[in-house]
Structure 1
């Protein structure tokens, strides 16, 4: 599997046959390495949304209106259908959706969730994604919480963790999360996009390495292989 960082918390997970788009905040994202039209041209197999905040919901409707399956909580899927989505899959925490490309399992995340227009977005989530025989945990926006150990028990090839502080974990908390998650690879996200997101990726890399984790710092547009 290849993981391509698009900036902020947006990623594409690639295998030779499938592409999954995560939290597609592209328009209005000062870090974005890909435009909406370019992302549409990738023909994603699904768009996965962790929660409804604008910097994660982003351009989801641009994909969902074109028939790309949108997978998220019932509240997000329902909102998408009301606004023109043609194929939205409603899940909730603890549920798993299985498809030709693999599966996604929703986990808790300690945060909040509402759409830019103020509509309630349900509970925020993390995503455990199985694709190409590998397992990736996308934490969305969350603080550190002890049940991350249960997620780690699943066996993680990679964890994508917010480190920006202020709205989510900072780098030190995210490094402590690695002790619970025990991934082979960790990639930080949700930092530096806006002035308030002051978490230092170098601190996360140092603290992660001290815990024996392969921390990879990706610039927007860069890709790493698991």
Structure 2
């Protein structure tokens, strides 16, 4: 499974030839100014919640690539009003069988409002089963006991967890979250985009090491295989 990082919480995963883009936020991210949006193709766009820094480019990619937006009901309806017909409505606890695998929407402890100020539904995360890999994309969240349910239902290979603090978990809560969902590999997200979520990379790596976790901090534009 090839993973490309475009900054903040935006990742493109190639799952057996299907391109799945998570939380697209490139246009307004100054750290991602070198990313060429035109070169990115997305068959599916998974949106964790309605804040602009997680959905700013979802409409662009849905229209550019004729991609399908997967999101909570209210977000899907918002995009349908913009003329996007390819949507998959979800809500917390629901599952969808998609060409690349199965997606379950799970709880996130955060807030959510659409860019125009209208109600954006509940925030969420996703557990994805694709081929021989199962992973958790947490979205924006604080530490919550609901994460323990994931370990009871799935065996995770890795987890995308926010680590920037202030607006989400920090690295210390993230390693606890990794324990609760029972994974050793953390791909960090939601860090360094703005001053209030800048992290000390060395401190974060050491915190993960001491907790027996592998923390992966990708560079913008970097590709890795998981």
Shorter-chain TM-score above 0.5: yes
Query: 2: distance between equivalents of 1:76 and 1:166?
Result: 25
Aligned length: 223
Q: Secondary structure at the match of 1:215?
A: strand
TM-score normalized with structure 1 length: 0.93
Partner of 1:34: 35
Tell me how far 1:205 sits from its aligned partner: 2.1
* Structure 1 stretch displaced more, 96-105 or 49-58: 96-105
- Which has the larger displacement, 204-213 or 105-114? 204-213
Q: State the match for 2:169 in structure 1.
A: 169
Unaligned runs of 5+ in 1: none
1:53–1:113 CA contact under 8 A, matched in 2: yes
- Following superposition of structure 1 onto structure 2, how do residues 80-99 of structure 1 map, counting pairs within 5 Å? 80-99=79-98
CA apart distance, 1:219: 0.8
Q: Quote the RMSD (CA, aligned, Å).
A: 1.4
Mapped partners of 1:76, 1:176: distance in 2: 30
Alignment TM-score, normalising by the size of structure 2? 0.93
Give the conservation status (yes or no) of the 8 Å contact 2:15–2:100.
no
The residue aligned with 2:48 is 50
Structure 2: gaps of 5 or more residues: none
SS of 1:37's partner is helix
CA distance in 1, matches of 2:63, 2:223: 27
The residue correspondences of 1:1-226 to structure 2 (distance < 5 A) are 1-32=1-32, 34-39=35-40, 42=41, 44-66=42-64, 67-153=66-152, 154-226=154-226
**Per-residue deviation, residues 44-97 of structure 1 (Å, max 9, x unmatched):** 221000001000011101122342110000000000100121201111000011
8 Å CA contact 1:164, 1:200 repeated in 2: no
Deviation at 1:16? Answer: 4.1
